[in-house]
Chains A and B, each alone.
Chain A
Amino acid sequence: MKTVQTSASSTYSASPVQQQVVRSLKKRHRQEKLFRFAGMTAVGISLLLVALLFINIFSKGLPAFWQHGIELEIHFDPAVVKISEQPVLQAGESPQAFEQRHLAWRSEVGMVNFNRLIQDALLKVIPDGAQHRRDLARIVTSGERFALRDRVIANPAIIGQTQKLFLLTDANIDVWLKGNIDRSLPDEKQQLSPKMREWVESLKAEGVIQNRFSWALFMNPDSRSSLASAGLAGAFMGSLYMMLIVILLSVPMGVAAAIYLEEFAPKNKFTDLVEVNINNLAAVPSIVFGLLGASIFIGWFNLPMSAPFVGGLVLSLMTLPTVIIATRSTLKAIPPSIRQAALGLGASKTQAVFHHVLPLAIPGILTGAIIGVAQALGESAPLLLIGMKSFVASVPSSAMEQSTALPVQIYLWQGNELRNFFEARTSAAIIVLLGLMLTLNGLAIWLRRRFEVRW
């Protein structure tokens, strides 16, 4: 550098040094451009990756929110649905005895051959169906017979009537009609027989088979026997229970711990130990929390496997550091003058903190808590270790019952053998999960923007 300056000031003609500088300047500017370009490229690639991920998931998943079903005139034929009267509570009968009778009646309804009703209705729209009974039986997904049963149980008066119902078709038909399978594959590699394909095509053209919004995806629990009606309701409830437990446990505890550490804790070894611990816990891999849950909550305390309660406990421990760290930084940002003013007017230290500092910190605390909960909502690894990866075909009615969670349901669905159907369904589940998480994160950002005070 020194040489450059001296030579530039002493001679104005192009000395060799100056020439060298001019020449090198070009190179240096080129390097500058390159460097800048590299930075932009990195940003571009990162944005592209985000876009790729979302476009991929959405293009795969959005079609799965609509599903093919068939509109049938179901005649609840009294000759097929032969059941006794629905029991009514009689005078002097105990509720238990009535419950018993009602249960017996319901299992009697369950014995009815509802498939017969569906097949009879199908024969009306498929004239040559009678010659291909086996193909005919595969058109409507097997879970729909329970939908018919539930209709009869809800209202036995429909026996003898004819109702126009929309029943989901088999998963393979949905795959075929959506074009998710190579149609040029030879017959022996196709899931549908040639006869079924022919029926399905013509029914679709006639408008009997329609592609409608799939409520089953949201209202049904998971299913393995009737793939087309597998839904997210069970997993959603499981996740909901766990989030409630996380909110009830980790938020108050985390906030309390943060208040103690930030406002009251004396400077001593114990406080240091707690602080180091919290920082380390924040970085412990989530799967280690799963091991903790498996050995302590299930092994020692004998809590039930696969229960949202245990999952909630594990996730609470996992989110605790997040909540503590977020709350502490919020408390730290509140200027000491607030505390001093309160103390100066005669408030005790507790009063100063709880009456004056804490209310100001609430937006920040809420933001941290929401981000922690969103994190817990998307976590799946620790849940696999406490048995939440087992198949559960019912919606849990309490936090102690077996259940899965939304991310675990994604894990289970991606492994299903009927890939053509479940790739889309898994993507749809991912959209639901991402939707929930982004809503939570958006809420946190909105809260921060709306209520944040800069001191």
Chain B
Amino acid sequence: MNNLSLIIILLVLLAVAYQLGMQRSRKLAGGQNSASLHSRPHHYGMMVGLWAVLPPLFVMLLWNWFSPAVIQQLVLASLPAEILDSGEQAQVLLRRISNLATNFAVLSEAADWEISAANYLTALQQKSTLLLTALMFIIGALGLLVSYQKIRPSLRARHQVEKALMATLLICSTIAILTTIGIVLSMVGETLKFFSFIKPSDFFFGTTWNPRFSTAGVADGSLTGSQGSFGLLPLLSGTMLVAGIALLVAIPLGLMVAIYMAEYAPKKVRDTVKPIIEVLAGIPTIVYGFFALVVVGPYLADLGQMLGLTIRATSALTAGVVMGIMIIPFISSLSDDIITQVPKALRDGSLGLGATKSETIRKVVLPAALPGIVGAVLLAASRAIGETMIVVLAAGNSPSLTANPFEAVSTVTVTIVNQLTGDNDFASPQSLVAFALGLTLFVITLLLNIVALVIVRKYREQYE
């Protein structure tokens, strides 16, 4: 009897309890007229259903949480003493035993004691599910009976049901907090582990990035000299370079699009062009990366050759230009909203004094909208800094401290992807550094967002 079938049984129990509770409340009320009840009959049904299902569900969760550890301890305790003393790790032993128990193939012939331990494990697991089923059944039946007995016309069933509902809603809204806590805790924990290998100052102020993929023996610290260097600065400069180019492309284009759309464009043009540009925002970043790699990079390289410059096909410029295209709709739609929010009276005043439309926009509307636009640009910058796939494909992945946009660079996000190659062995500084980089990224984008939000909020208050 696995968890899924237990849950199905619980659902059936819920339906039965619901019907029972509803019928009893109807009967108590005397036939069809339920006006003498405090709550509607389905509230009574729901209340009985919840009492019948929630306690067993809770028991099941607890049981699933604790029983594997208990069973493991029991199995370990049953092993012959000489095996336990042989220095073999308990985890390794247990894995072999559980593989045997589930008929998985194991390396080398299984010893007698292993087979008996596997049998013991199977027996324990069977006993555990049997116990759990029985326990859930008893608790569920108890809950059903007690709540069924409690039904009176004066019982405030609706309040109980609504309380349960409220608790569910509250739990769902705390998921966001849990996620943030999860992000911070996981990254801070791994980052601290990383800093036990590498000094924080070497990380934050180091100017070379050369992590040298590790082999065994690094973890004990005897080979500190050959650990490679984990300097953040080349990555940070690469990130800033790419994001800077992206903003150089996106701010003029996005801003002019926003101004044109908000001030000049006739409604028809606005209604057709705006969605088309916003399509750019919905395109997956991997598609932009491919576009940069296959089209923009070679094109820029050819262009450079014509002008007598050496531009690499995968360079900060390529990644930056394409990332700029990506954030155009971001800047344009945010700025558009902000420009339209500027009160009409300001425009009318300026136009009435004889200023042309463009003068009004440049000297009156834009200064009024400036804080909001700055906020939009900061949000766009934080998106550019956190962007991954475009730079993975098009920035060239060469971590060097350079300000030349025609060179290949590497960024924080690219390095995270490269360092966390997919094995979940978080023991070497080579993979732990991904978390330190992630934390840096998280903090930078968080700061940018907070500043942007504060600016935007301040601005909004001005006109409200």
The interface of chain A, by Cβ under 8 A from chain B, is: 1, 4, 28-29, 31-32, 34-36, 38-43, 45-47, 49-50, 52-53, 56-57, 60, 252-254, 256-257, 259-261, 264-265, 273-274, 277-281, 283-292, 294-296, 298-299, 305-306, 317, 320-321, 324, 348, 350, 374-375, 377-381, 384-385, 387, 389-390, 407, 410-411, 414, 423, 426-427, 430, 433-434, 437-438, 441, 445
Which residue of A has the minimal Cβ distance to B277?
A: A46
**CA A389 to CA B260, docked complex, whole Å:** 43
Q: Chain B residues near A306 (CB, 8 Å)?
A: 422
B420 x A294 contact (CB < 8 A): yes
A39 x B442 contact (CB < 8 A): no
Within 8 A of A (CB), among B429-445: 434-435, 438, 441-442, 445
| Contacts A28-B359, A32-B358 given; does A257 touch B256 at CB 8 Å | no
Quick check: is B170 within 8 A (CB to CB) of the other chain?
yes
Quick check: is B62 within 8 A (CB to CB) of the other chain?
no
**CA A32 to CA B261, docked complex, whole Å:** 16
* Residue from B172, B187, B424 in contact with A298 in the complex, judged by beta carbons closer than 8 Å: B424
B162 x A299 contact (CB < 8 A): no
Q: Chain A residues near B450 (CB, 8 Å)?
A: 280
A42 x B257 contact (CB < 8 A): yes
Within 8 A of A (CB), among B248-278: 252-257, 259-261, 263-265, 273, 275-277
Q: Chain B residues near A38 (CB, 8 Å)?
A: 256
B361 x A379 contact (CB < 8 A): no
A35 x B358 contact (CB < 8 A): yes
Quick check: is B158 within 8 A (CB to CB) of the other chain?
yes
Chain B proximity of A277: nearest CB distance (Å): 5
Q: Chain A residues near B5 (CB, 8 Å)?
A: none
13 A-B residue pairs with Cβ-Cβ distance under 8 Å, sorted by A, are: A31-B359, A39-B263, A53-B325, A57-B291, A257-B175, A279-B453, A281-B179, A291-B183, A292-B187, A296-B182, A381-B389, A385-B417, A438-B279
**CA A34 to CA B202, docked complex, whole Å:** 52
Chain B proximity of A304: nearest CB distance (Å): 10
Q: Chain A residues near B386 (CB, 8 Å)?
A: 284-288
The 0/1 profile, CB within 8 Å of A marked 1, for residues 176-210 of chain B is: 11011011001101100000000000000000000
* Residue from A256, A261, A296 in contact with B186 in the complex, judged by beta carbons closer than 8 Å: A296
Chain A proximity of B11: nearest CB distance (Å): 15
A390 x B422 contact (CB < 8 A): yes
Chain B proximity of A284: nearest CB distance (Å): 7
B264 x A259 contact (CB < 8 A): no
Chain A proximity of B459: nearest CB distance (Å): 16
Of B104-112, B226-234, B305-313, B349-357, the one contacting chain A is: B349-357
A-B residue pairs, 4 tightest by C-beta? A285-B386, A378-B284, A39-B260, A42-B256
Q: Chain A residues near B52 (CB, 8 Å)?
A: none
B169 x A43 contact (CB < 8 A): no
Within 8 A of A (CB), among B281-314: 282-287, 289-291, 293-295
Q: Chain B residues near A256 (CB, 8 Å)?
A: 168-169, 172-173
Q: Chain B residues near A414 (CB, 8 Å)?
A: 289-290, 293-294, 393
Q: Chain A residues near B354 (CB, 8 Å)?
A: 1, 4
* Residue from B282, B379, B393, B413 in contact with A283 in the complex, judged by beta carbons closer than 8 Å: B379
Which residue of B has the minimal Cβ distance to A285?
A: B386
A320 x B173 contact (CB < 8 A): no
Quick check: is B388 within 8 A (CB to CB) of the other chain?
yes
**CA A41 to CA B260, docked complex, whole Å:** 10
Chain A proximity of B291: nearest CB distance (Å): 6
**CA A31 to CA B363, docked complex, whole Å:** 13
Within 8 A of A (CB), among B375-394: 379, 382-383, 385-389, 392-393
Q: Chain B residues near A378 (CB, 8 Å)?
A: 282-287
Which residue of A has the minimal Cβ distance to B169?
A: A260
